[in-house]
Amino acid sequence: MVVFSHVASLLAQEKQQKEALVRAAYIYNFCLFVEWPQTAFHDKREEIVVGIAGRDSFIDIVTDAVRDKTAQGRTFKVIRINSITDAMRTQVLFLGFPETEKNESYIAALRYSPIMTVGDDPKFAEKGGVIRLFSEQGSVRYEINLASAKSAHIEFQSRLLSMARITGRP
């Protein structure tokens, strides 16, 4: 019985790891199909800063996913976020706090900043996040809150929108 329990635990960990890799790849791909306002960057060579808040284990996975890649002619930098002030330096912010209220406080504080907020809390988009990642029938999918994107002055290409579950139509 103990052996079966151990095997089941290892399989669950492997599934979680694969899902984290897919989520990190999504974050990179979102950057290929988003248009930030000019105010989101200081100059044309500035990196796309991806911040990770509340889930330190995800930092290395995202760093590996964007290593040596570019989006819109920009390289990437991945940083740990410890405060809303830190988050203001990002263009992409993954909010992975286990407490929904903490995710919501970041979303509220950054609502009108040109930051693409991404999270996987079940109410993430409903509470004002821009993109919610979720699992459905064994696959990772995404939901885009258009009203939140508009507030952040972010526009998505139709190719990305065509594969998304859309909420918050402005």
The beta strands (E) that lie in 29-72 are given as 34-35, 48-53
Instruction: Answer yes or no: are the C-beta atoms of 34 and 142 closer than 8 Å.
Output: no
Question: How far is residue 103's CA from residue 105's CA, in Å, rounded to a whole number?
Answer: 6
- We report the CATH number of the domain holding residue 42 as 3.40.50
Burial (Cβ within 10 Å: 0-12, 13-18, ≥19) of residue 170? exposed
The bridge status of strand 116-119 relative to strand 131-136 is parallel
pTM: 0.90
| pLDDT 10s digits, 79-128 | 999 999 999 999 999 999 988 899 999 999 999 999 999 999 999 999 99
Angle at 57 between CA 59 and CA 137, to 5 degrees: 100
* C-alpha 57: how far from chain center: 14
Structural domain count of the chain: 1
In single-letter form, the type of residue at position 123 comes to: K
The beta strands (E) that lie in the chain are given as 34-35, 48-53, 76-80, 92-95, 116-119, 131-136, 139-145, 155-156, 165-167
Q: Which domain holds residue 98?
A: 2-167
| pLDDT 10s digits, 24-75 | 999 999 999 999 999 999 998 899 999 999 988 899 999 999 999 999 999 9
Instruction: Answer yes or no: are the C-beta atoms of 55 and 23 closer than 8 Å.
Output: no
